Chains A and B, each alone.
Chain A
């Protein structure tokens, strides 16, 4: 069974600061990490590899040449190989252009049973790329996976909702997106680090190497236009204080919450 895990290298937002004037991230000196949800996706793929025989895990990313480090880290965790789509033609891609490129990368890899993505990236929070890849490839998709079982040629996934969950069964091939509740990712092993840098474990592919429509990648191929980014000023709404008998207060509170359609 072949599993492809899509990962994104992102700035560690715990250490990132925002330029107050331009409203953009100050990336200088901020360490890059594998996007946390993507690590959960990778961990689940590696657990499948640990459990079943003949499982191959390929990590796929689109990004600048430095994203090589994220793929090597994934290999140090236990993935078999990495593929990095890197080309100036991909620069400035929004989610549509990114998913177009990744889907082309996945077609290039060919044989797969599961495509695993993280729910969303901490530097964009869109949660769009995974589902879009599934649409490009015409695959069934299960998002927000918090528990996963493999049975024969099917997956059975628990899909988290805000106030409950679905249990969904799907035939493979299927695209899944992972949330942090799915598992606790392992650390890369130190031996894995040294092995990851030995030999030719990461393959670099340009836009021309994969069969991709150039009108749908990069800045030109991105329908999203960023007009301006800014830090919202503090909330202006005023608080309301209920005083007196607590039962009466609770009643008033519930009435107010209902008026606002919050309960």
Chain B
């Protein structure tokens, strides 16, 4: 068993660290405060092939692997979880289903510019009445000549309003239930497609979360992704991979918070000595470091399995369950160790704690991960 990263993965990590330090960290507090989408960061990431890390070069990608991509999300999320999820939703939820299920024409038309970062991607499954119960899709798609006509509303769509291309799920045959769902590639300018409410959120405030409205939206029939009725399968398998991205985001938040806290407890003096000298606090730090390491091993294993063609659904669910709860636990404790300062916006701790919460909710709540894991181990 080899726990070493490859030379390429090590270099990707050092590039992402430097990139995050110079380009992401300096604006993290500002974009959290204002909720401004960091378009300039997305452009910079595109320039350095960070928007399509795990895809082959012939499809516009960097020719890397899933673990390198996961490391990129982790490193970005150490300082800015918003930037981390922009990359994760784009890569795992928009690029990947086209790479996996798209026709060659669809790959050339959409995956190439997405993986190059010329387009930003999004994934639209959730509806007001179809959250965890994703099969209860009310958006419909009806074939009319050469086009599908989409009607319905999607909510909480990450990169919504900023993306150029959306993977949209809709019912093509209601009588078949989840087997009546199909997936479509929808461009932002298609007639009948508009952006509704942009959510004001507790955390990941610089990531755009939007409502998508389809009113007789015309989608060319060649933009059907996979076959009619394959949508639910496409959605679920896409989310299996997406969960590794969110797990990496959670891992990044937790390790970034602990890194800052370690610096702080070494400097902050109370009762004439640094906080780091108090055994009670040392134990907190030790537990957090152990938990983060365990999360990292779970996340990296899931990415490793995915890259190597091994099953990864259960592993991804375990990684996301554990890493997201680790992020919430660690950031809460880090705020505690920062004391009053941790509660202020002068320090990044409160932001990290707000950002951590969403990782337990989106791309499958912790309870959904438990369902997935239980189904796998009890079968």
Binding site for B on A (CB under 8 A): 31, 33, 69, 72-73, 76, 186-195, 197
- Given contacts A31-B14, A195-B63, A190 and B48 within 8 Å (CB-CB): yes
State which of B4-12, B128-136, B307-315 sits at the interface with chain A: B4-12
Minimum C-beta distance from A20 to chain B (A) = 18
- Given contacts A31-B14, A195-B63, A190 and B7 within 8 Å (CB-CB): no
Minimum C-beta distance from A66 to chain B (A) = 10
A190 contacts B14, C-beta separation under 8 Å: no
Within 8 Å CB of B47, what residues of A?
189
Within 8 Å CB of A192, what residues of B?
49
Within 8 Å CB of A189, what residues of B?
47-49, 62
Minimum C-beta distance from B153 to chain A (A) = 36
Of A31, A187, A195, A197, the residue contacting B7 (CB under 8 A) is A197
Within 8 Å CB of B285, what residues of A?
none
Q: Does B200 contact A (CB under 8 A)?
A: no
Within 8 Å CB of B63, what residues of A?
191, 194-195
B19 contacts A193, C-beta separation under 8 Å: no
Q: What is the chain B residue whose CB lies nearest that of A192?
A: B49
Q: Does B53 contact A (CB under 8 A)?
A: yes
B15 contacts A188, C-beta separation under 8 Å: yes
Instruction: In the A-B complex, list the 9 residue pairs whose CB atoms are closest, starting with the nearest.
Output: A190-B62, A191-B62, A191-B49, A190-B49, A194-B63, A189-B48, A189-B49, A193-B11, A187-B48
A197 contacts B14, C-beta separation under 8 Å: no
A76 contacts B11, C-beta separation under 8 Å: yes
Q: Does B192 contact A (CB under 8 A)?
A: no
A190 contacts B57, C-beta separation under 8 Å: no
Q: Does B50 contact A (CB under 8 A)?
A: yes
- Given contacts A189-B49, A191-B49, A69 and B11 within 8 Å (CB-CB): yes
A193 contacts B57, C-beta separation under 8 Å: no
B68 contacts A190, C-beta separation under 8 Å: yes
Given A188-B48, A193-B64, A195-B63, 7 more A-B residue pairs with CB atoms under 8 Å apart are: A69-B11, A187-B18, A187-B48, A190-B53, A191-B49, A194-B62, A194-B64
Query: What's the Cα separation between A73 and B7 when bound, in Å?
Result: 10
Of B11, B19, B48, B53, the residue contacting A72 (CB under 8 A) is B11
Q: What is the chain B residue whose CB lies nearest that of A76?
A: B11
Minimum C-beta distance from B9 to chain A (A) = 9
Within 8 Å CB of B57, what residues of A?
191, 194
- Tell me the count of chain B residues lying within 8 A, CB to CB, of chain A: 21
Query: What's the Cα separation between A251 and B64 when bound, in Å?
Result: 66
Which of B8, B50, B57 has its CB near the most chain A CB atoms (within 10 A)?
B8
Interface CB pairs A-B, < 8 A, 25: A31-B14, A69-B10, A69-B11, A72-B7, A187-B18, A187-B48, A188-B11, A188-B15, A188-B48, A189-B48, A189-B49, A190-B12, A190-B48, A190-B49, A190-B64, A190-B72, A191-B49, A191-B61, A191-B62, A191-B63, A191-B64, A193-B62, A194-B8, A194-B63, A194-B64
Within 8 Å CB of B61, what residues of A?
191
Query: What's the Cα separation between A258 and B19 when bound, in Å?
Result: 46
Which of B19, B61, B62 has its CB near the most chain A CB atoms (within 10 A)?
B62
Query: What's the Cα separation between A191 and B45 when bound, in Å?
Result: 12
Minimum C-beta distance from A173 to chain B (A) = 32
Q: What is the chain B residue whose CB lies nearest that of A32?
A: B14
Binding site for A on B (CB under 8 A): 7-8, 10-12, 14-15, 18-19, 47-50, 53, 57, 61-64, 68, 72
Minimum C-beta distance from A195 to chain B (A) = 7
Contact residues of B: prevailing secondary structure: helix
Contact residues of A: prevailing secondary structure: helix
B18 contacts A193, C-beta separation under 8 Å: no
Which of A187, A191, A193 has its CB near the most chain B CB atoms (within 10 A)?
A193
A197 contacts B8, C-beta separation under 8 Å: yes
Q: What is the chain A residue whose CB lies nearest that of B13?
A: A31
Query: What's the Cα separation between A197 and B62 when bound, in Å?
Result: 13
A187 contacts B64, C-beta separation under 8 Å: no
Minimum C-beta distance from A75 to chain B (A) = 11
Query: What's the Cα separation between A191 and B72 when bound, in Å?
Result: 13
A69 contacts B62, C-beta separation under 8 Å: no
Query: What's the Cα separation between A193 and B16 when bound, in Å?
Result: 12
Within 8 Å CB of A72, what residues of B?
7, 11
Q: What is the chain B residue whose CB lies nearest that of A68?
A: B7
Within 8 Å CB of A188, what residues of B?
11, 15, 48
Within 8 Å CB of B7, what residues of A?
69, 72, 197
Query: What's the Cα separation between A44 and B53 when bound, in Å?
Result: 27
Within 8 Å CB of B14, what residues of A?
31, 33
Minimum C-beta distance from B34 to chain A (A) = 26
Query: What's the Cα separation between A73 and B10 when bound, in Å?
Result: 11
Query: What's the Cα separation between A187 and B49 when bound, in Å?
Result: 11
Q: What is the chain B residue whose CB lies nearest that of A31?
A: B14
Q: What is the chain B residue whose CB lies nearest that of A186?
A: B48
Query: What's the Cα separation between A25 and B47 when bound, in Å?
Result: 37
Within 8 Å CB of A186, what residues of B?
48
Within 8 Å CB of B48, what residues of A?
186-190
Within 8 Å CB of B8, what residues of A?
193-194, 197
Query: What's the Cα separation between A76 and B8 when bound, in Å?
Result: 10
Within 8 Å CB of A187, what residues of B?
15, 18-19, 48
Within 8 Å CB of A195, what residues of B?
63
Minimum C-beta distance from B160 to chain A (A) = 26
Of B11, B19, B62, the residue contacting A73 (CB under 8 A) is B11
Within 8 Å CB of A76, what residues of B?
11
Within 8 Å CB of B15, what residues of A?
187-188, 190, 193
Q: What is the chain B residue whose CB lies nearest that of A73?
A: B11
Within 8 Å CB of B11, what residues of A?
69, 72-73, 76, 188, 193
